[in-house]
A and B are shown apart, each in its own frame.
Chain A
Amino acid sequence: MSEALVFRNFGLAHRRPGGEEVLLEGVDLTLPGNGFFVLIGTSGGGKSSLLRILAGLIETREPAPRMTGELLAFGKSLTGENPASLDHDVAAILQDEGLLDELSPRENVEVALRAAGRSRKLAPALLAQAGLHNPPERVAQLSGGMRKRVAVARALASSPKLLLCDEPTAGLDPDAARTIAKLLRDAHDQDDGRTTIVITHDLDAFEGISDGILVLDRPSRSLRLEPSDFRLSHTDSVAISPEGDLGEPAAVHWLRRLLLQLAAIGETVVDSVRRAPPVEMGQVVRTTLRFVLEPALFVAVAGAVIGGLATFFALRNNPIDGGFESALLTGTGKVATAVLVPMLSGFFFTARIAAGASARIGTMKRTNQIAALRMMGVNPADYLLTPLVWAMVIAMPLVTFCGVIAAALAAAFAAHAASGITVNGWATAYFMTVRAQDVLVILGKSTLSGYLVALTCYHLGTGPKRSGGDVGESVNSAIVVGMALVLTVHAGLTFLIYA
């Protein structure tokens, strides 16, 4: 039997502002292949961090945990300058399962199969193997236990050599927990070369199932392998106060965070170009249609109110009754059409669409859906960024023109109401100074705004999300930053072109 994991003088520490929190130190341990292990330890002891290191899911926008010594998985080193990636050799069932809400349970498995280069037709068999013969159409309709089963089926799609499970029985009653534990063991036994590590607090559910128990001992910063009948004593679980081991100064920590944030922005921009060809054209078309139809009425009404009011009051408050009307119409027409309505349309579009888009991505990040995508070998940019960029780049100009047209129609109506001006007379004056160039400029401004708002939503949505509050914060930031970018683009281009 070959060795699955080898720890050699392995140490693990979280970088915190002003110091490091050491989790493991001098671990020397070898896990044999084909074993089914349960990993236990106190909360916050580093179990999930270890799992994320093994699964290659380290958060890239925060300073990475500091690793010392060596950690080998199937002979590949996961530490050092250029850590290896296990790719399809590893699969993880994360907390919250990370099922893609927008797809059916079967499609969730199919995505994983396709990413692993296997036939999608295997999905029903995998679901059946996980105990789901007729899964419902939507992920939202799944019970807690069923969600775990779909997650297991999806994790098995790539036939991983190392299967990692983070609290797979959390939130389940003892019977359901036991069933899931058995399911994991059965899945483990179906492949001779597979090693399974399950993080759990529920040792009862795995009683008699595991081949050994990995104990992550916080006080001694050690990781050891115990026999399967090991039980955690009360003293073992005493919480330890975090240690402020001296590391780098807080300023350096924040500088690291800043640089990583900037790198992530750069990565988002590069991804938006490199990943521009859509992988799923249907998704792009659906998203575009949604982004056009949802805000169109809202923006049209807003544009009509602005265009109508501007024209109405310009004519009504005319100091020389009936004089200079064409000049007033020409002035309001140029300003409203070329500058005001496009910018406000951009604002309304951002308020209506950016919030939803960043909330969706933020929730996906929070519920590990994005980690699951990575785990399956799907680049989240293909699945989330590309459709977003295309949809916003196409939808923003269309919606803006909706606003401009509505503003123009309302202005015609207002001109008639305020001064009895005919539609022809209004059109002659209103569009006197509006030229093809203005249309091109509107197109340029709204397209660039749409692109930047899309990047903003994706970048803020995919940032670290530790709580629901982080998701809310990212939604708020997407609206504020999105609107600021729309304002900057409109003001900047207007200044450059018309000044």
Chain B
Amino acid sequence: MHRLRYFIGLVTLALAAVSAIWIVRLLRSYDERPGLSLSVEFRNARGLRAGTDVRYRGITVGTVRSVAISGDGRKAVAQLLIEPTGARHACVNSNFWVVTPRFGGLTGGATGLDTLVRDSYISFYTPPNSGSELSDGSLLAGSERPPSNAEPEALDDVQHGDLLMTLLVPENHGLIPGSAVIFRGMQTGDVRSVTLAPSGTHVEVDLRISRKHRHTVTDKAQFWVARPTVTGALLSGFTVSDVSALLTPFISYYVGPGEGVLVQDGYRAAAELARPSFEVSPVPGKAVQQNNVRGPIVSDDVVLVRVVYAALERDTLSRDDPIKREGSGVLYLDSSGRAVVITARSLVDASFTEGDFWGDPEIDNEVIKVHLKDGTVMRAGRVWVDPKGHDLAALMLEDARPDLTGTPSKRIVFVSKAEGQFQLRAVGPDGAELPTQPLTEGLPITEDNHGASAVADGKVTGIFGRKPGGTVSTVVVLGQLPEDLRPR
């Protein structure tokens, strides 16, 4: 009997040893997470402590492991551990600086205000094409203040078709990357970088004018740095222009209607010394007379919309999973005049597709947005899903405009069985219709064709989704849709 007990004791000892080894390894794995170890030297650590964040584009990608004084006593050296996701962005030319509150005077604005109530942290920025990635154990020189091309993380990426040009200004006046470029009071672009010309005679400001507005820049356009200017005399009264530039200076330009020719990328222009005097052209009469109907630009009478769905799946023992899906739907007005979009349920209902170990998934923060072709974005609510488990759902637009036009009823048929040759019609991310695609067997469901309308003989008969209970694609016919949700 005691022999058995000695054996059980040995087994228990072995189990305890294995558990201990496992726990030690688990703890070590936290301590020795694969990551990039760096040392950054600062002249002043400005309150950095072990454990404070290292951020890239505002996202924490690492921590400060220790802060020590360098051997010669002239620098503070911070040891950083950067996680693999952030390590990819740390390059030889990356700038590291300590984020503390900074006030740039009236025109420079204030940055790092979050560190008023929190610890300082280290931020880094990597300019484009910054050379090779850093190797483990690299020593870098940190800067005391954000680099001159700071705040680049606030800039939108340059899109294909944007106008890239350079404005030469006699003085900066507090412009920073991200400062707005304004035309007729509307932002049409932004400042990408501000640098002193090599000759030192002026400042070069790189601008980006978005594709949508690049036709507003011609060679006759006059540019100036907007800052408050007071004109007038004591007796005649004062005029203060560009007061809004008091805290955040911006660049403004003006060109009269039809003046000049469009410019190319790389165009260089010299800014005026002060706001030029000009008369803003009034609204042309032609514009007033135009039949100002806003609504989907209908190429034929089937109205397709882009459906964007976002939600959060709450997980009990792991991090919550964000869910984002995009696809297409068909817009029409139902018998009561309400704007209805029919689409695939798997596109707009995460509870239909997600599973959870504990049972039904907990889906939260659901947001459904519908992008019309004219750029309007509207929120929509899910009003119906197929109770029989087919991949079909109906959305209703919130606050739809009364002049909204939808697909006429003659273009939608509610059959209960799919027949004939189908073609898929869908819209892309910009709301423009994608090329018509023949429906072939086993076509995978993608962002482009998810919820696409299946059209046969010019009539929408179904939605492209998945077969019940599986991932195989199919055409879900509209026959199940309730009568009161059908078009008039």
Contact = CB atoms under 8 A, between A and B. Distances in A.
Contact of B5 (A82, A263, A499): A263
Contacts of B316: 436-437, 440
B12 A260 contact: no
Given A320-B117, A437-B314, A499 B6 contact: no
A436 B358 CA distance: 13
A256 B12 contact: no
Interface string B358-394: 0000100000000000000000000000000000000
Given A82-B1, A499-B30, A263 B8 contact: yes
B2 interface: yes
A63 B13 CA distance: 17
B9 interface: yes
B6 A263 contact: yes
B1 A263 contact: no
Contacts of A81: 3
Contact of B2 (A64, A319, A324): A64
Contact of A324 (B3, B10, B117, B315): B117
B273 interface: no
B312 to A, nearest CB: 11
B285 to A, nearest CB: 54
14 contacts: A60-B5, A83-B1, A256-B6, A259-B5, A259-B10, A261-B9, A262-B8, A262-B13, A263-B5, A263-B6, A263-B8, A267-B8, A437-B316, A497-B317
A105 B6 CA distance: 38
A265 interface: yes
B243 interface: no
A440 B2 CA distance: 42
Query: Which among A263, A319, A435 has the greatest number of chain B C-beta atoms within 10 A?
Result: A263
A260 B314 contact: no
Nearest to A259: B9
B257 to A, nearest CB: 50
Interface in B27-78: 30
Contacts of B21: none
Interface in A256-295: 256, 258-267
A236 B13 CA distance: 47
B311 to A, nearest CB: 16
Query: Which among A258, A262, A435 has the greatest number of chain B C-beta atoms within 10 A?
Result: A262
Interface in B297-356: 314-317
Interface of A: 60, 63-64, 81-83, 256, 258-267, 319-320, 324, 435-437, 440, 497, 499
B22 to A, nearest CB: 12
Contacts of A83: 1
Interface of B: 1-3, 5-13, 16, 30, 117, 314-317, 362
Given A320-B117, A324-B117, A499-B30, A262 B1 contact: no
Given A83-B1, A320-B117, A263 B314 contact: no
Contacts of B12: 262-263, 265-266
B1 A259 contact: no
A260 B316 CA distance: 40
A497 B30 CA distance: 13
B314 A262 contact: no
A260 B317 contact: no
B9 A258 contact: yes
A260 B7 CA distance: 9
Contacts of A440: 316
A262 B317 contact: no
A436 B320 CA distance: 13
Nearest to B362: A436
A166 B8 CA distance: 32
B117 A262 contact: no
B15 to A, nearest CB: 8
A266 B1 contact: no
Contacts of A497: 317
Contacts of B5: 60, 259-260, 263-264
Across chains A and B, which 5 residue pairs bring their CB atoms closest together, nearest first?
A: A259-B9, A263-B9, A263-B8, A262-B12, A262-B9
A259 B13 contact: yes
B342 to A, nearest CB: 34
B314 A435 contact: yes
Query: Which among A81, A265, A436, A499 has the greatest number of chain B C-beta atoms within 10 A?
Result: A265
A29 B207 CA distance: 112
A64 B362 CA distance: 57
Nearest to B316: A437
Contacts of B8: 262-263, 266-267
B1 A260 contact: no
Query: Which among A63, A266, A440 has the greatest number of chain B C-beta atoms within 10 A?
Result: A266
A475 B362 CA distance: 45
Nearest to B315: A437
Nearest to A438: B316
Nearest to B318: A497
Given A262-B13, A497-B317, 12 more contacts: A64-B1, A83-B1, A259-B5, A259-B6, A259-B10, A260-B6, A262-B10, A263-B9, A265-B12, A266-B11, A324-B117, A436-B314
Nearest to A324: B117
Contacts of B1: 60, 64, 82-83
A262 B315 CA distance: 38
Contacts of B117: 319-320, 324
A448 to B, nearest CB: 14
A83 B6 CA distance: 16
A298 B1 CA distance: 45
B321 to A, nearest CB: 13
Contacts of A436: 314, 316, 362
A324 B16 CA distance: 47
Query: Which among B3, B8, B9, B314 has the greatest number of chain A C-beta atoms within 10 A?
Result: B9
Nearest to B2: A64
B31 to A, nearest CB: 12
A259 B3 CA distance: 10
Nearest to B358: A440
Nearest to A318: B117
Contacts of A263: 5-9, 12
A265 to B, nearest CB: 6
A39 B158 CA distance: 102
Nearest to B23: A492
A320 B30 CA distance: 36
A121 to B, nearest CB: 36
B396 to A, nearest CB: 30
A479 B316 CA distance: 32
Contacts of A82: 1
A256 B11 CA distance: 14
